[in-house]
Structure 1
Amino acid sequence: MKKLTARLLTLFSFLTVEILLVGGVFLASLGVFFYLTRVVFVAHSLTFDNWAIGHANALRAAWPALTSGVHVVTFFASLPFLVGAGVLVPAGLRWWGHKREALEVFLAVAGATFFNQLLKTHFQRPRPATALLSQLGLSFPSGHAMIGMALYGCLAWLLWRHGRHPAWAVLLLLWAVLIGLTRVYLQVHYATDVLAGFAAGLLWLILLRTALRLFWREEQQV
């Protein structure tokens, strides 16, 4: 009984404004992801996806030089980049004495990669036939959007939490969103794939952060 009471008190101690805000983001992300699965796999609707592709085509026709820049931006959530960042960023953080932050970034990238493949295997959505790039694998949810949000979202959270340059935290989140949009522009993903990727990336980040925080709190009490 004492252990149960202690655990409940520990749980309630987390109920701060920050936690309530994060909980709201979690529920919103879960709702968006669930809604998108209904739209894509139950209603089989392409209305939003066709609208997004139409706008991407119009933008590409109006600004053809933009495509080369899009290729550069999309690289920053590609597999080679993520493998390097998933190893080098945690190694650098560990070198500077931030062991917990290093573990958090590594698990954010590795876990998002693993769960993205599980989700793609489950939903089995083919990529758009009009893709401007040759890309292997399945489409839902977008790996660039999901893993990019996990990496840059985690870095943004760490910057925000430590109170260092919160503007950079916002810019990192905007950068993750921009990377996701490049996937629609290049038509290697549907817009619903990208939105689902953003939502899934946020879900994974919040679950990871909550689990690590509980683990480290209990570790200190041992």
Structure 2
Amino acid sequence: MLALAGLLTIEVALAMVLFVAAFGVFFYLARVVFVHHSMALDSWAAGIVDGWRAAEPGLTGPVRLVTFFAALPFLLPASLSGVLLLRRARHRRESWELLVAMAGGMILNQLLKLYFNRPRPSNALLQTLGLSFPSGHAMLGVTFYGCLAWLLARHLGHARWALPLLLWAGLIGVTRVYLHAHYATDVLAGFAGGAAWLVLCRAGIKLFWKEEQAVFESADNDMESN
């Protein structure tokens, strides 16, 4: 009970606020798309990126490169490498967090896509497979780079890298709209879903770790008393 009470900190309170806000944004976007059937935001965003492409045709090549850094062929080996490196550095809790966050995020994203069953835009500039809502690049990008930002800030003292990493994840989301691989609402929902999942995952790992430590400490005290 003391271990659980220790979770009632400012960090947890802020995490709860972030989770509720992210879930609220996701729910709102789902209503806009699937209840009100509104394409206003998607059309507006598509018009902006089409203007960028018309003004600078050479952007398409770099955009294709940037979008790769949240694709499964990159995220899967990067996540597994990160887990192995963390375990080698004896950061067992963090390695589990990264593994659970990424594996669970991939599964959750696919389940959400199947549930909402929204087709992708028909005018994509690159070959795209699967369904559209929410964007996997946006959701998994926030999960992966959010985990990385926290690890750098927590263990290496590089808090200044947190904002650039999150901005990088945001830029990857913009590339999905630019390439017409997703609608803007798909990307925003992916950001919201990824943030909510990351907060929930971190809270769950922290709770489990507190309980595990409490059990070990209780067992050690019993052994000492005997």
User: Do they fold alike, i.e. is TM over 0.5?
Assistant: yes
Shift of residue 160 of structure 1? 2.4
Paired amino acid for 1:63? E
TM-score, normalised via structure 2 length: 0.92
Shift of residue 79 of structure 1? 1.3
Aligned to 2:21: 28
Equivalent position SS for 1:127: coil
- Alpha-carbon distance between aligned partners in 2 of 1:87 and 1:214, rounded to the nearest angstrom: 24
2:124 equivalent to 1:131: yes
Aligned to 1:144: 137
- Alpha-carbon distance between aligned partners in 2 of 1:120 and 1:150, rounded to the nearest angstrom: 17
| Contact persistence 1:159–1:168 (CA under 8 A) | yes
2:152 equivalent to 1:159: yes
- Alpha-carbon distance between aligned partners in 2 of 1:179 and 1:37, rounded to the nearest angstrom: 21
| Contact persistence 1:86–1:110 (CA under 8 A) | no
Equivalent position SS for 1:65: helix
Aligned to 2:198: 205
Higher RCO by CA contacts (8 Å cutoff, separation 6 or greater): 2
| Contact persistence 2:142–2:169 (CA under 8 A) | yes
Residues 13 and 100 from structure 1, CA distance in 2 versus in 1: closer, same or farther, beyond 3 angstroms?
A: closer
Paired amino acid for 1:143? G
Question: Aligned pairs, how many?
Answer: 215
Shift of residue 163 of structure 1? 6.0
Within the candidate set 69, 91, 113, 1:76 is matched to: 69
Aligned to 2:80: 87
- The CA RMSD measured in Å over matched residues stands at 1.2
Within the candidate set 42, 62, 76, 1:49 is matched to: 42
Equivalent position SS for 1:61: helix
Paired amino acid for 1:128? P
Within the candidate set 43, 64, 84, 2:57 is matched to: 64
TM-score, normalised via structure 1 length: 0.93
Aligned to 1:3: none
| Contact persistence 2:105–2:140 (CA under 8 A) | yes
Q: Deviations over 1:36-83 (max 9, x none)?
A: 000000000000000000001000111111111111110001111011
| Contact persistence 2:19–2:196 (CA under 8 A) | yes
Aligned to 2:113: 120
- Alpha-carbon distance between aligned partners in 1 of 2:48 and 2:28, rounded to the nearest angstrom: 23
Q: Structure 1 regions of 5+ residues with no counterpart? A: 1-5
- Alpha-carbon distance between aligned partners in 2 of 1:170 and 1:162, rounded to the nearest angstrom: 16
| Bigger radius of gyration | 2
- Alpha-carbon distance between aligned partners in 1 of 2:210 and 2:7, rounded to the nearest angstrom: 11
Aligned to 1:221: 214
- Alpha-carbon distance between aligned partners in 2 of 1:27 and 1:19, rounded to the nearest angstrom: 12
Shift of residue 11 of structure 1? 4.1
